[in-house]
Chains A and B, each alone.
With several copies, the nearest count.
Chain A
């Protein structure tokens, strides 16, 4: 197991940081989060063409750059730090990973190249209005009707579900339950019987949709009824990617809190010289560093195909969620009244922290998963 990044990985991170510092200042975040689609196509194009980020962990034979989870997580951490508005998590993490895990080689050869190049933005629709984050929550059905599959049911909390140009949908064979009978389907955005509605998300930088399927045609990906394992692997990697995104955000909040505390004067002293603030910051640093350790370790474990991956993914997700929320709350507290204003940027990260806390399952859900998946 590697416990530090290589020089190449550090350089890669520096390149992304330079890009984001320029392209994703909070003025841009605020502009884009107020739009319906939530991102800027031109930035997305640069991200793909200049940096090749959507291609990062896609195999080279499918137009990717063939890097792995560690590099993907470096990208996520920096996106989290700068709150980049882009459909990256939906397309490059969720949909890409689902296709890599669940589709046949031929299907991958068809679907992955346009995703890798950034030309096509995909998403994965798996959660439903019941809000469950695993296979057991899937109720949407796929009926075989004259050689075609017709999907019926509702997906919710679908990331970039309204803007995505390719939908990977998890559906189940009627009459099955649990992890049985699940398959991935691809659905075109203009498919018959598909209604896409934007949900109002608290975190306006993360666009969510409700998708209603009524006898909507879908094309099977991979083998019928065998998506459960692929979905589970996909969700593990997604949780790890999210954990890395969260530690980037938490670090941004910690930096902001510390630098404000060093500058803000009350009672003739910087507030950072008061133990109440000082010790809060020390505790924040410990929590953020711990979450980083978990997120980095899990990313490396994914790269190594570690058999303990589900447990490590849950550990990282639970740890990062708590660290992010605590850091966000403390960052507001340290800023005082100003930290509660719309004008101050803290709330942008606070809302991202809150949505990340529950997205893919909250800390208490993942702690229980950790207990189930880890040998004590």
Chain B
């Protein structure tokens, strides 16, 4: 966010005083969610790190934390936390025109518009830049044809962040453009995609001459990959946001109810995510209640799991501590995703050992009302979603350890690069 460098002249004391005063005057849990957030965004306290021109105060991350503290102190709500919307906001803030910012930002923050992210395709998963969804300019507007997949929330999104190919005669990363797509049009068809664990958290999105106006390109035509990198860089930080709303989970009052309803919708596709991570938290109690805790061989496996899971947590905290001390984050950050795959697999193994014959069951016949079964059939996703383990290892080796990249087989005009014939 280049523009967020226009730091204001606040110091901590003056900032705290101002935000406290503003909250005292404005925070009202009797307001509707939208009314409150409209007031909030217009005040600039919504996104303190953002520029003053766009719903912010232009302050540092450290000072923004002070604002968050004061909001938390009076249980005041922040802006909408919906995942893809937040990604849309940071991307538009960084790459959008003023007209685009004016058109979209506020309604994202208030939660009036829902968004979705149209990146992955059936033929380009790990190879995200290999997108073959086409955007052709007919002289007045863009016509979109192709298919996206793994799109969370596509079925209730107003807008989509779309990466599509606008030039087939340049190398693959150079022929992409980044669009805002109106999801509510006839050329866009959304189908739910069911997973092996029975949930349907994702969608396939089909485009048949879907239309995008000429002014709905973010940044320049052909610069789509650079814009997409901004979106991707923010993808991992959402967990923190969701953690924040959880802190208000017990408060009473209409605005809190409204927020919880909103969160429930946002969170719906992610219900099984804790199971996907292996639920290490359940292992101790399960081992005790089944008596598996007395089996020396199982104790070894539980201990291995605990070691893996504890060290993963500590490694993450080392990374955060380094960041807080303003030091380079070191390799710890990049390793978390790979560690979480290992932990989940080990946890699934341990849950199987502990459950014995019960591991054959599902639904209400499975232990913990089906949670155990859901772990066993959800864990395979964690080493794939958000970049496979193999891709993570490439990233770690190349970017952290500085090892050479492989010779590329996809240079030259994209038209000539071998592709899937799905």
**Which A residues are closer than 8 A to B by beta carbons?**
2-4, 127, 131, 133, 156-157, 199-203, 206, 208, 258, 261-279, 281-283, 285-286, 289-294, 296-297, 315, 318-319, 329, 332-333, 336-344, 346-347, 350-351, 354-355, 357-359, 362, 364, 367-368, 370-371, 374, 376
Contact = CB atoms under 8 A, between A and B. Distances in A.
B314 A358 contact: no
Interface string B236-251: 0000000000000000
Contact of A354 (B120, B149, B352, B353): B352
B332 A340 contact: no
B297 A336 contact: no
B94 interface: no
Contacts of A281: 397, 401, 403
Given A278-B403, A282-B401, A337 B149 contact: yes
A341 B194 contact: yes
Interface in B377-422: 377, 380-381, 383-385, 388-390, 392-394, 396-398, 400-411, 417-420
B269 interface: no
Given A157-B360, A293-B311, A267 B410 contact: yes
Interface stretch (B29-37, B103-111, B155-163, B281-289): B281-289
A274 B127 CA distance: 13
Nearest to B390: A276
A281 B392 CA distance: 12
Contacts of B360: 157, 201-203, 206, 208, 354-355, 358-359
B339 A201 contact: no
Q: Most B CB atoms within 10 A — which of A293, A341, A357, A367?
A: A293
A350 B306 CA distance: 26
14 contacts: A202-B360, A258-B401, A258-B402, A265-B418, A266-B124, A275-B406, A281-B403, A290-B311, A297-B314, A332-B384, A337-B150, A364-B353, A371-B302, A376-B287
Nearest to A157: B357
Contacts of B420: 263-265
A57 B303 CA distance: 31
Contact of A376 (B283, B298, B377): B283
Contact of A202 (B314, B315, B331, B376): B376
Interface residues of B, number: 98
B90 interface: no
Contacts of B16: none
B304 interface: yes
A331 B194 CA distance: 18
A336 B125 contact: yes
Chain B interface mostly helix, strand, loop or mixed? helix
B20 interface: no
A131 B366 CA distance: 13
Given A276-B393, A297-B314, A337-B150, A285 B362 contact: no
A3 B401 CA distance: 22
Contacts of B418: 265, 268-269
A290 B304 CA distance: 12
Nearest to B283: A376
A332 to B, nearest CB: 5
Contact of B403 (A272, A338, A344): A272
A337 B127 CA distance: 13
A8 to B, nearest CB: 13
Contact of B310 (A202, A315, A347): A315
B409 A269 contact: yes
B254 interface: no
B357 A4 contact: no
Nearest to B363: A200
B321 A362 contact: no
Contacts of A156: 357
A272 B358 CA distance: 37
B318 A296 contact: yes
A350 B196 contact: yes
A200 B315 CA distance: 38
Contacts of B194: 341-343
A276 B126 CA distance: 13
A368 B402 CA distance: 38
B193 to A, nearest CB: 6
Contacts of B127: 266-267
Contacts of B365: 199-200
A337 B381 CA distance: 7
A367 B303 contact: yes
Contacts of A208: 360-361
B394 A275 contact: yes
B166 interface: no
Q: Most A CB atoms within 10 A — which of B293, B360, B361, B405?
A: B360
B17 interface: no
A310 to B, nearest CB: 14
B377 A294 contact: no
Given A200-B361, A276-B393, A4 B321 contact: yes
Contacts of A376: 283-285, 287-288, 293, 302
Given A127-B357, A358-B359, A268 B125 contact: no
Nearest to B406: A273
A333 B307 contact: no
A374 B32 CA distance: 48
B279 interface: no
